[in-house]
Amino acid sequence: MSDQAAELLRQWVMAQAGEHADWVSQSLETIAKGGPERDLHIFLGLAPRKLGKADLNLSDEDLKAADQARSGWSPEGWSVDGAARVLALLKSAGNRAFSDRFKDLRRTADMAELIAFYRGLPLYPDPETLHFEVGEGLRSNIRAVFEAIAHNNPYPRDHFDEHRWNHMILKALFVDSQLTPILGLRERANPELARILVDYAQERWAAGRPVTDELWIPVKPFRNDPSIKTALDEALASGKLTEEVLL
Amino acid sequence: MMLIDPHAHMISRTTDDYQAMAAAGVVALIEPAFWIGQPRTFVGTYVDYLSSIVGWERFRAGQFGIRHYCTVGLNSKEANNEELAEGVMEWLPRFALKEGVVAIGEIGYDEQTPLEDKYFRLQLELSKELNLPVMVHTPHRDKKRGTSRSMDVCEEMGVDPSMVIIDHNNEETVAETLQRGYWAGFSIYPSTKMGNARMVELLKQYGSERIIVDSACDWGISDCLGVAKTAQLALESGIDQETIRRVCYQNALDAYGQSGQMNEEDWLNPPAIDQRTVYEGNSILRGGREPRIEAPGERRAGQLLIE
């Protein structure tokens, strides 16, 4: 699965690598042989310097191929240096477990690296070993880092337990992020999340702040649960909420 | 007028300061790694500090429409803790190639001890290896000798003066700094370093070549509008616009731009991915309003409602 994804990334990066195409292939070859991790660090550092930060040029076919390689994976909005960095991670071989190496890179990462590393989550080996690292990213106050995990990324849908899932949705609301780009927003709706979201909406109303319509998407399936129904009926009666957002 | 503050320790400053700097026309700033007022006693806290200025602080500045760059290095005070210094030196190369790192700095002398000398030289070596500019902090005590010595050592180590910014100059050090071919930084910092009226006199005497104005604002009594207020005072004193543009913008860009990590395009025409993720854009550049200088007190007291 990740071999196919790596091959796609390689094609896309090479297509935009220009005069640095040889540098990319040679560096990747060295990294894949499992030499010193310093080689990987240098490649990660030089990637934006050599390749620039332009968006990947992706066709509809490319996007389709990505989804086939890893269900739910969308490289839309990835930059060429970010793609090269994820590719290097996928190709790198070392004596330490992938999660240890990931942790080491994450600790000293700059923002662009953090965004790239977390966008690559659905493609890495042993996804269940990365939970701590993902938690660190979710706790980031840098919205773009949080969104690298939360948005257009199938990892949360496929690997988060209910508690972490619910708190990711809630944090997205707190940092003014959108909910609709979260994959699995409907499938992973659950009664506990619905309760949390209704509480949150009531807090917002009490403070005189608006509530985004997106919030109701994961609440709707539970609108007839007794406690939720009572809260929603009150909000409808007082005009804070309209029927149409619940449809 | 677009301004650059090439020496500002924003990790010690508030959101008010960022707003004031953006409103005054600051489009970019450089945060040198420094002593945070209290010695660090673990290598790990130093590493996390470097991570903060490379990542978090860069993000914070972007929210206010200011492009943030930094320098990484082991400062002269903490160079005297050998155990810490050895640890930091091991991590430095990992940080030197991060996005937005424009120099090794601020490095140099504090008390001019043998350990300070040792780590100054090791970091000059690193700057040569990575082809990065160097920001040199000149000592507050025994300044004249310390400044000359800093330049002597740069030359001994084979570092090209055009790659070195000698910072915190004053009337007593500027002539030698310029004559030897270095960039001369001036920190407009009340009481201890340079005042802006004195700075205007220096501009009259020395012109604009290789002179760079910064605020060096930090955790002490200092002014994040040091560059803006100097530009304003210089303008009112009849200094020509081009001189002001050079010392408050262009020279810093030319000196630190040698890293390849700082380009005018970063704020005038940022890459799409940055616009979507980490840089909110600058209202001055969007033609939103005229640059203005406000004191922190006015900013706070004038706004009664907190919503």
Residue B135 belongs to a domain: yes
Which residues of chain B are at the A interface, by a Cβ-Cβ cutoff of 8 Å?
Answer: 47, 50-51, 54-56, 58-59, 91, 94-95, 97-100, 260, 271-274, 276-278
Q: Which residue has the higher pLDDT, B304 or A6?
A: A6
Check whether B53 has a pLDDT greater than 80. yes
User: The domain spanning residue B39 has which CATH number?
Assistant: 3.20.20.140
Residue B21: inside a domain, yes or no? Answer: yes
ipTM associated with this complex = 0.86
B300 pLDDT band, cuts 50/70/90, is low
Mean pLDDT, residues B285-306: 69
* Residue B129 to chain A, least CA–CA distance (Å): 13
For residue B222, count other CB atoms closer than 10 A to its CB. Answer: 21
pLDDT of residue A38: 84
**In chain A, what residues touch B47 (CB-CB under 8 Å)?**
107-108
Q: What is the mean pLDDT of residues B265-287?
A: 80
In the block, which residue shows the tokens 């990462």?
Answer: A109
Token couple for B158 = 């084979």
How far apart, in whole angstroms, are the C-alpha atoms of residue B107 and residue B150? 10
What tens digit of pLDDT does each residue of B162-176 get? 999 999 999 999 999
CB contact under 8 Å between B55 and A53, yes or no, is: no
Chain A interface, Cβ < 8 Å to B: 41-42, 45-46, 48-49, 52-55, 77, 79, 82, 107-115, 141-142, 144, 147
Q: How far is CA B222 from CA B66, B105, B216, B298, in A?
A: 19, 20, 8, 17
Residues of chain A positioned with their CB less than 8 A from the CB of B272: 54-55
**What is the tally of helices (H) and strands (E) in chain B?**
14, 8
- Per residue in A157-199, pLDDT tens? 999 999 999 999 999 999 999 999 999 999 999 999 999 999 9
Q: How confident is the model at residue B291 (pLDDT cuts 50, 70, 90)?
A: confident
pLDDT of residue B302: 67
Its domain, for residue B247, covers 3-296
- A41, A48, A144: residue with CB nearest B94: A41
User: In whole angstroms, what is the distance from residue B304 CA to residue B160 CA?
Assistant: 53
From the list B59, B95, B100, the residue facing A108 with the nearest CB is: B95
Number of domains in chain B: 1
Minimum-distance CB partner of B58 among A49, A108, A111? A111
- Let me know if residue B71 belongs to a domain: yes
pLDDT score of B298: 66
Cα–chain-centroid distance for residue A47? 21
Tens digit of each residue's pLDDT (9 = 90 or more) over B3-34: 999 999 999 999 999 999 999 999 999 999 99
- For helices A21-32 and A80-91, give the axis angle rounded to 10 degrees: 30
Task: Name all contacts of B217-222 with Cβ < 8 Å and 24+ positions apart.
Answer: B217/B5, B217/B8, B217/B9, B217/B12, B217/B13, B217/B17, B217/B189, B218/B9, B218/B12, B218/B13, B218/B34, B218/B37, B219/B9, B219/B12, B219/B36, B219/B37, B220/B37, B220/B189, B221/B190, B221/B191, B222/B189, B222/B190
For residue A106, pLDDT beyond 70: yes
Record the tokens describing residue B53, joined without a space.
């200025």
Distance CA B152, CA B173 (A): 14
- 3-state SS, residue B111: coil
Q: pLDDT tens digit string along B190-216? A: 988 899 999 999 999 999 999 999 999
Distance, in Å, from the CA atom of A176 to the CA atom of A157, rounded to the nearest integer, reads 20
Burial of B14 (0-12, 13-18, 19+ CB in 10 A): exposed
Contact yes or no for A110/B54 (Cβ under 8 A): yes
B64 within some domain: yes
Residue B307 forms part of a structural domain: no
Share of chain B above pLDDT 90, in %: 85
Q: Which two tokens stand for residue A115?
A: 């965004």
What was the pLDDT predicted at B47? 96
